[in-house]
Structure 1
């Protein structure tokens, strides 16, 4: 089944193969490259606590070789052609991606099929790769402005998988076995559990032909239900300090937000940008330019299938942590109480329109957008339709989001440094 979604700024094609694989593509004239990626609906939100980190470990393990390619062969296949091969694990998906010239799409499709569907998953490779992931965990532990977000997630979501570390813990990683890898792979790594998206110098029919030649159409559907996930519970906000001998005190002040499918996320993104998304934002001007309390201060948002998170990060000298937190809370209270002025809202819309338009100039960004709409079961919107959503944000929805999500008393606060602020 093939469908086309055509608009003033896009030509997205969608085909569902007989084995259940959803294939998306968007042709971009004027470029020579193609971004090609596959998303598997298996990630940390689907894990049991004792298997925390298994999805991320499997993402590593598929690169350890196939019956026809060594790990070095997989690395060389695209790099010798000037392309790249990469992967990541998020809270809700695991993704494998290639970026290459249009003349090498067939190679990319073949390499991705090989490592995704035919990994060796040997115990000897796992024993070695555990050391790599343990080093990755140590890197996070030694990077306080990364670690602070891990700690905030744990407190915000409690025992729910949204609060799990994507990397896992040292104990859970050490306990993983090759049988665990095989079990997850046989359960989730099937075409009907995946979305494949491409963008750039590739026509849809040519993409389907490359996939067929690489064997994607020959892989049997798994016939299993998607991995289960549960919605996180409502937890009260908490404040916690983690003592660490660091030069700075790192602070995250944040709370739950709406899910990816909630239309208010457009307003949330706009508000977050005006509050702390750039040099002209309220927090940057107040905390850095006026008070000189920090070098780095910014807002963040993530929208998931069942919920979301938003907040503010600041890193500052320990003696400046409390004044910085007080100033941030003053801004949160003000925006919660007053919302945005008409002038700010208009400026925010202009900024959002420009940022969104500029963000879609690369094949990778178009690939991500197409895959995201499919994964979250949303209608695919053209650029003009997205910009219309921005234009439609009004003062009423902004006031509602500000008043219900930004008040200081709603925030979970985590600090990391030599002493509690």
Structure 2
């Protein structure tokens, strides 16, 4: 779904319902009654916290998530890794529950909980049977709103996170993506590791993490989303009960606006970064700055990405793997942020085949930039986009994520039919104009493998 988010400026709410305006009562609105989904409703609590639900009576489960508009890009240099560190710590205990109480309470009813941190937001979620939703709401709201951050737990999780960082360093296929982000963004927070580094995590104190927690985890920055067999009014009531008396039960406020797209992030000139590592396979990424998530051309970008390297029928897969057998894995991808983006091609191949893989990749990118895609290719790319989006809505977790991302990242939710229409409206000229601009940009290169740091200076 990431390739086809909600468009900027497309509002489906009546004027005046997007903000509580400091009122003392909650404001509720039905956003949509989608024939391809369920009824979506949105309530803004007086504190500025937002609750969105999608009622799907045919389901017997519910996915419940708490999304915070805080990620690794919101950290200062010395704080690098604080958002991820905090994500770990919130599961370690609250004033009402121990870490075991949190995990066993959900597992006892067959449910599951987890969390993840990105560069722009953090999510805590649970999936349970519909009858166990009250338990999930109480547990998840408790851990996000009222964690104690015990000093002993800070030290325990510090060790866990340092092991996670070390494990990441042992995965060159993951490491190369971080190296590429650094090649494009340099010292900007978008170029840093979400987990932080050993140098930043080791000295981080409980006081620093606690300060980050209370400054950043505020009601206006939080979106709660749920999808499945549920009643919206009941969910809102349970959320309010769970948050009563916690640090998120605050004075009236308006929801925080979504992250601004201006000013745009300044990227580095095209460069090459090599991380020497004795691996059996070389991992390479060739790419450039892309477009931000509010850019209307993102629908065309999704089509371009599908045709170029988005599947087994894509140009790069057919040329590099199927016809020449040079790599097991080769694909293109686009990442989009509020004020920037990336477009890149990844390949994993034998070290001796790197030059040929890079030559073929550069040639294909240049060919598409110069000649564009055919009408048949664009039609196929549009079909892939629509199919993957709709099939991705087959479970409650995906629907819950769609609600939260629409609200948190765009301030609105696009109906499924409208989104599919936006993809259908993409023309061959749209795709080829974007390809000419994007693929004609100077390319940065990131390499992890058995090479010297200067081995690619002339390649």
TM-score (ref. length: structure 2):
0.88
Q: Would you say 1:137 and 2:147 are equivalent positions?
A: no
Where in structure 2 are the equivalents of 1:350-361 lying within 5 Å? Answer: 350-361=383-394
Partner of 1:221: 250
Q: Would you say 1:105 and 2:133 are equivalent positions?
A: yes
Q: CA deviation at 1:210?
A: 2.1
More helix per residue: 1
Q: Would you say 1:58 and 2:86 are equivalent positions?
A: yes
Partner of 2:6: none
Q: CA deviation at 1:351?
A: 1.8
Q: CA deviation at 1:63?
A: 1.0
Partner of 2:52: 24
Partner of 1:297: 330
- Kept after mapping to 1: 8 A contact 2:85/2:161: yes
**Greater Cα shift, 186-195 or 103-112:** 186-195
Q: Would you say 1:410 and 2:442 are equivalent positions?
A: yes
Partner of 1:119: 147
- Kept after mapping to 1: 8 A contact 2:57/2:230: no
- Kept after mapping to 2: 8 A contact 1:18/1:217: no
Q: CA deviation at 1:220?
A: 2.5
Partner of 1:271: 304
- Kept after mapping to 2: 8 A contact 1:105/1:210: no
Q: In structure 1, the residue corresponding to 2:190 is in which secondary structure?
A: helix
Partner of 2:289: 256
- Kept after mapping to 2: 8 A contact 1:254/1:312: yes
Runs of 4+ in 1 over 6 A off after TM superposition: 222-230
> Residue deviations 1:368-407, cap 9 Å, x none?
1111111122431111101000000012221121011113
Partner of 1:371: 404
2:29 and 2:336 map into 1 onto residues whose CA distance is 27
Q: CA deviation at 1:9?
A: 2.5
Q: Would you say 1:163 and 2:191 are equivalent positions?
A: yes
**Greater Cα shift, 200-209 or 34-43:** 200-209
2:258 and 2:84 map into 1 onto residues whose CA distance is 15
2:287 and 2:245 map into 1 onto residues whose CA distance is 44
Q: In structure 1, the residue corresponding to 2:410 is in which secondary structure?
A: coil
Q: CA deviation at 1:227?
A: 11
- Kept after mapping to 2: 8 A contact 1:19/1:220: yes
Q: Aligned Cα RMSD in Å?
A: 1.8
Q: Would you say 1:3 and 2:15 are equivalent positions?
A: no
Partner of 2:70: 42
Partner of 1:194: 222
Partner of 1:393: 426
1:19 and 1:72 map into 2 onto residues whose CA distance is 30
Q: In structure 2, the residue corresponding to 1:367 is in which secondary structure?
A: helix
1:282 and 1:386 map into 2 onto residues whose CA distance is 26
**Runs of 5+ consecutive residues of structure 1 not aligned to the other structure:** none
1:377 and 1:273 map into 2 onto residues whose CA distance is 24
Partner of 1:240: 273
Q: CA deviation at 1:241?
A: 1.8
- Kept after mapping to 1: 8 A contact 2:303/2:431: no
Distance 1:367 1:217, change over 3 A: farther
2:100 and 2:386 map into 1 onto residues whose CA distance is 43
Q: CA deviation at 1:216?
A: 5.4
2:258 and 2:224 map into 1 onto residues whose CA distance is 18
2:205 and 2:284 map into 1 onto residues whose CA distance is 37
2:245 and 2:288 map into 1 onto residues whose CA distance is 43
Partner of 2:120: 92
2:394 and 2:74 map into 1 onto residues whose CA distance is 33
Where in structure 2 are the equivalents of 1:286-365 lying within 5 Å? Answer: 286-365=319-398
- Kept after mapping to 1: 8 A contact 2:186/2:267: no
Q: In structure 2, the residue corresponding to 1:119 is in which secondary structure?
A: coil
Aligned length: 420
TM-score (ref. length: structure 1):
0.96
- Kept after mapping to 1: 8 A contact 2:145/2:243: no
